[in-house]
Structure 1
Amino acid sequence: MVKVKQKFPRPSIPPDNIPQKINDILGQDDISSIILPGMRIAITVGSRGIRNIALITREIVRVLKEKGALPFIIPAMGSHGGGIAENQQKIIEEFGVTEAYCGCPIKSTMDTVQIGTTPEGHSVVIDRYAAEADGIVVLGRVKPHTAFRGEYESGLMKMMAIGLGKREGANACHAAGWKHMRRLIPLFGNTILNHAKILFSVAIVENAFDETCLLEAIRKEHIAEREPELLVQAKQFMPRIWIEETDVLIVDKIGKNISGDGMDPNITGTFATPYASGGLKSQKVAVLDVTDESHGVIIGAGMAHATTRRLFDKADLEASYINALTSTVFDVVRIPMILNSDRAAIAACIRASNEIDVRKPKIIRIADSLHMEYIYISEALLDEAASHSNLEIVGELQDMPFDENGNLW
C-alpha cells in the first residue's frame, strides 16, 4: 500500500474569524431588526459532527444576548440518541455544546406540540420548548443526503421537519419511505415555516476538509429559495475518492458523528436505498471499527461485507435498531461477516471478490468518510494514481502494518 494525497479546493473561514463572521451576518438589518429584547429564542443543534459547531453556537448565543434576547439551545435530531432526551443532550455536549461554554441553558425534551398540518393532511409537530419560545433560529449544515436526491436534502428544511420534529416528526416523514422524502421534507418544512415562530436560519457549508467555508444568515421567508442554491455549492465542495473503481474498500471507522449512514455513501458508494447513487464502485467493503462518539450505534455496518469482532463487541443493538426503525431502512444495521481481526476481515473481502488478480488486488483504504485528504491505495492502483492530476503519491510502497493480533495500527 502507498499513501496518496487527494487535492480539493479549500475555501475556509478560520475559527478565529468565526466570531466576526457571526457578528456580520446577524448584524444585517433584515436579521438584526427581528431580534428584540426579552425574546426567548431557541437555537437548534443536531447530532452530526459539524466542525466548529460549539464555537458557532456560542457566538450566535453571544450576539442574541447582546441584543437583549434570552437564547437557549435545543437538541434537534429526530430519534437519535435512542430517542431519549438525556442522551440527545449528551450528544451535543460531546461536541462541546455545553451550557458553560455557550453561556445559555440547554433544554432537551422528546415532547412535541402540533403546530399545523401539511396541505396533504399530515400532522406537523415540533419540539415543545421550541413551540413555547418567542422565536427559533434554525442552525444547520447543508450537504447532500445519503439516501435520496431532491432540491432539499440534508439541510435546513430537514432540520425543521425531522430535527425539530423529534422522534414523532421523524417517524411521520419516514413512514412513506425514502421514495417520497424529496417531496415530504419541503412539505413538512414549509408547514413549519408557515406556522412556527422561525426567525431565521444560520446555514453552514463545509469544504472537502471538513472545515467551515460558508456561514450565512437567512430570514425565514427566504429559506425555501436559498437552501437549494447552497446545496449546489455544498456538492461542489464535497470530498470524493478520485479513483472511481476498486476491488475492495477498507474503512477504518464508521460513526454517526461521521455521517448519518455511518460512512457517507456519496463517497463510499454504499447506498442503502435506490433513490441516491454515486461514489466509489467496489466489490467488497470491510469496516473495521466504530467511533467512540457513536456510543455503539453501528449504522453503516450493514453496508459492509465484513467487519471485526472489535466493532461487534461495541455495538448497542437496541440504540442502533431504534434509529433504523425510525428511518425504515434495516440494511444499515444488518450484521456483516464478523472476523476476529482487521487482517481477516480484509482477507475475506479479497478472497470473495470475483474476477480479480488476488495477488495484486485493487484496494483503497480510508480513515473514515470525513477525512479524505489522505488515503492509501494498493500497488495495483499506482499507475492510475500517478496519472491523475488530483492525486499525489506521498509515500513509499509498504506492507500493511498489522500488529501481532492482526490489527492495523
Structure 2
Amino acid sequence: MRERPFVANLVSDQTIPKMFKVKQVFPRPKIQPEEIPQIIHTLLSGEKFSSKVKPGMHIAITAGSRGIANVALTTKCIADFVRSKGAYPFIVPAMGSHGGATADGQRAILEGYGITEDYVGCPIISSMEVKKIGVNEEGMDVFIDKNAAESDGIILGCRIKPHTAFRGPYESGIMKMMAIGLGKQHGAEVCHEAGFKNMAKYVPMFGRAIIKNAPILFAVPTIENAYDETCKITAVNAEEIIEKEPPLLQEAFANMPRILVDACDVLVVDQIGKNFSGDGMDPNITGTFCTPYATGGIKSQRVCVLDLSPETHGNGIGLGYSSATTKRVFNQLDLSSMYPNAITCTVLGGVRIPIVMESDKEAIQVCIRTCNEIDKKNPQVVRIPNSLHIEHIMLSESYYEEAKNNPNLIIESEPEYLPFDENGNLW
C-alpha cells in the first residue's frame, strides 16, 4: 500500500456516504437499428430529395465528432443511397477544430465511431484545407472544407440537440454543422470570434450564406431520446432548413434526459469525453456551463471527475469545470488535443486543471470536505457514469425517502458504502 501524502491527510477523515442505485424513467420513443436503412431509403427516395442526386455526381457527406447513436449506420445508409443513384459519395469530417485541428486527428475520430472506408463503402477525404465560398450578410468571408466546396453536392449528416453554451432557434444541428463543422479550424475560429454571446446570431448567419453559396442538397438529421437512442430521422431540403430546424430543436429539447433530483452537494462523474459531449460532460445535464448564455442541469457545489473515456483520446476539455479530479485523469491528458478546441471557441475555462488527487476516494473526499453549509456527515451526493448515459445512476442515502416517493425513480439497491480498493480507487 502506498504511503499517504500530506494533502490526503487533510481529507482522510471525511465521510463518503452510503450510496444506492436508481433507475431513472423517461419517455422512450425509439427507432431500432434494423429499421434505419429502410427509413433513410424511404425518406431520400422522395422526389424532392432523389431528384437532386444525379448519376456521375461526386457527393460529400458530412460526419461530425459527436458520439451520436447509430452514426456509422446512418452515414453508411446515406452513402448507399447516393451510390444507388449512380453517384459517387465520399465522407468529409465536419468538426471544426476537433481532432487536434489535424486531418489525421479528424479521420481518427470518425474511425473511432466505426465510420471507416470499409464500412461505409466510400472514401473518407479528411483535410483542413478550406475554400472561400462567399460572404455573409455582414460582409464576412465564409469558408468551408475545400473538398466539399468543390463537390457536386453536399449532404449534411448530423444530430439536432440543445447546445452547451448558448440558446437560440438554431443550436447544435444543421446550421451549426455548416457554419462550424464544415468551416474547419478557419471557419470555426471566425464564427467563434465574437464569442458565445453572439453565437445565436452568427451560426444561422453563416449557415444561410453556405446554403446560398455552397452546393448543399439536403440534410439528414437525427434526434435522440433520453437514453441516447435514435428516436427520429428526417430529411430536410436545403431551402427548408431555415424554417424546419427550429421545430426539430424543440423536439430535441423535449427528449432530453435530466438528473431527477434538482440539486446536490457533490456531483461525481465517472467519465468525461468528447464522445459524450463537445464539453466533455453535457452541462445541460451536469450544470457545468462554460458561459452565462445557457442554463439548466443539476445544481451542485462541487463536481468530481474520476476518468476520461478511451474514445476521447486524452482530450479532457470540460475538466476545468470540475472541482477535483484524479491523478489517473491528469496522466491521460493530451494538451495538444485539448487546446486547439479551446482557443478556437475562445473559451479557456474547460481546459484548466482542477485539484488533482491521487485516487477516486480522495477526489470525492476533497469535494465533500470543501462544500459550505452542508451536513458533512450526511452529504447529498449524486454519481453518474457520464453525461450521456444517465438511466442508471447512484444517489447518497440522504435521497432515499425522496426516491421512494418519486414514480420516475426505481430503487435498484439498498444504500451501501462505495467499494474502494487498497489504493482508494473504485472497482
Q: TM-score, normalised by structure 2?
A: 0.95
Deviation at 1:383, TM superposition (A): 1.4
348-357 or 316-325, which deviates more: 316-325
Instruction: Say if 2:287 is the partner of 1:269.
Output: yes
2:25 aligned partner:
7
Residue of structure 2 aligned with 1:207, choices 211, 225, 243: 225
1:283 aligned partner:
301
2:243 aligned partner:
225
CA distance in 2, matches of 1:381, 1:228: 37
Deviation by residue 1:158-217 (Cα, 9 ceiling, x = unmatched): 000000000000000110111000000000000000100000000110001110111101
1:39 aligned partner:
57
1:234 aligned partner:
252
Instruction: Say if 2:190 is the partner of 1:172.
Output: yes
Deviation at 1:392, TM superposition (A): 1.2
Partner SS for 2:158? strand
Instruction: Say if 2:373 is the partner of 1:355.
Output: yes
Deviation at 1:128, TM superposition (A): 0.5
Instruction: Say if 2:385 is the partner of 1:380.
Output: no
1:111 aligned partner:
129
1:30 aligned partner:
48
CA distance in 1, matches of 2:416, 2:368: 18
2:13 aligned partner:
none
1:193 aligned partner:
211
Highest RCO, 1 vs 2 (Cα 8 Å, sep ≥ 6): 2
1:394 aligned partner:
412
Partner SS for 2:328? helix
Amino acid at match of 1:259: S
CA distance in 2, matches of 1:155, 1:10: 21
Deviation at 1:387, TM superposition (A): 1.5
CA distance in 1, matches of 2:398, 2:253: 30
CA distance in 1, matches of 2:426, 2:250: 37
1:216 aligned partner:
234
Amino acid at match of 1:64: V
Deviation by residue 1:36-57 (Cα, 9 ceiling, x = unmatched): 1111000000000011111111
Gaps of 5+ in 2: 1-18
How many pairs were matched up? Answer: 409
1:73 aligned partner:
91
CA distance in 1, matches of 2:238, 2:90: 19
Identical columns (%) = 56
CA distance in 1, matches of 2:71, 2:85: 21
CA distance in 2, matches of 1:174, 1:66: 38
Amino acid at match of 1:120: E
Amino acid at match of 2:156: V
CA distance in 2, matches of 1:173, 1:108: 21
Amino acid at match of 2:199: M
CA distance in 1, matches of 2:407, 2:42: 38
Deviation at 1:318, TM superposition (A): 2.1
1:335 aligned partner:
353
Deviation at 1:268, TM superposition (A): 0.4
Moved over 4 A (4+): none
Amino acid at match of 2:245: E
The 5-angstrom pairing of residues 311-322 of structure 1 reads 311-322=329-340
Gaps of 5+ in 1: none
The 5-angstrom pairing of residues 58-97 of structure 1 reads 58-97=76-115
CA distance in 1, matches of 2:301, 2:406: 22
Deviation at 1:389, TM superposition (A): 2.1
Deviation by residue 1:203-255 (Cα, 9 ceiling, x = unmatched): 11000111011110111000111110110000010110010010000000000
CA distance in 2, matches of 1:147, 1:386: 34
Deviation by residue 1:308-340 (Cα, 9 ceiling, x = unmatched): 000000001122111110111111011000000
Deviation at 1:35, TM superposition (A): 1.1
CA distance in 2, matches of 1:72, 1:117: 26
Amino acid at match of 1:230: L
Amino acid at match of 1:392: I
